[in-house]
Amino acid sequence: LSKQSDELFIREVVEGLAAHGNVLMSELTAGDNVAASALNFMAGSGLFAFKIGWNNEFAHTSPGVLHEVELLHASQDRLRGFTMFDSCATEASYIAPIWPERIPVVTGLVAASPLARWYRRVLDAGSNAKRLVLSWW
């Protein structure tokens, strides 16, 4: 809710996907209060995290992490139709340690012209030089 344009974007995405049954919204509650909530998108048998939010009143208990742990527990029962859960988080994310497996994602470059192939070789040389320098430290 910090920017109206962001809110409009999310509403459009959620409404569009929800029309096809591809949205899962969940909450972790503490009594009558929402401690954390999450917006997940579904594709086939995969569940993909998009946004986790939490109530600052409960920040000392790490409600976002607790929410994700409970979501994984729910996958054994109510969410068993999903075969893949993706946190969409980087390895350095606070949420990464609770996910039991990671699927490596690779970034690549396809060089279709002589200039692009030359540029790729320059990038490769730079990467190799960086690795060499870092290995000395």
Q: For residue range 11-42, what is the model confidence (pLDDT) as tens digits? A: 999 999 999 999 999 999 999 999 999 999 99
Span 55-86, pLDDT tens digits: 999 999 888 888 888 888 877 777 888 888 88
- Residue 89: which residues within 8 A CB-CB, separation 6 or more? 49, 95, 96, 99
CA-based nearest residue to 52, from 28, 84, 30, 75: 28
d(CA 34, CA 56): 10
Tell me the pTM: 0.64
Q: Are 67 and 59 in contact (CB under 8 A)?
A: no
Which residue is associated with the tokens 């000392």? 60
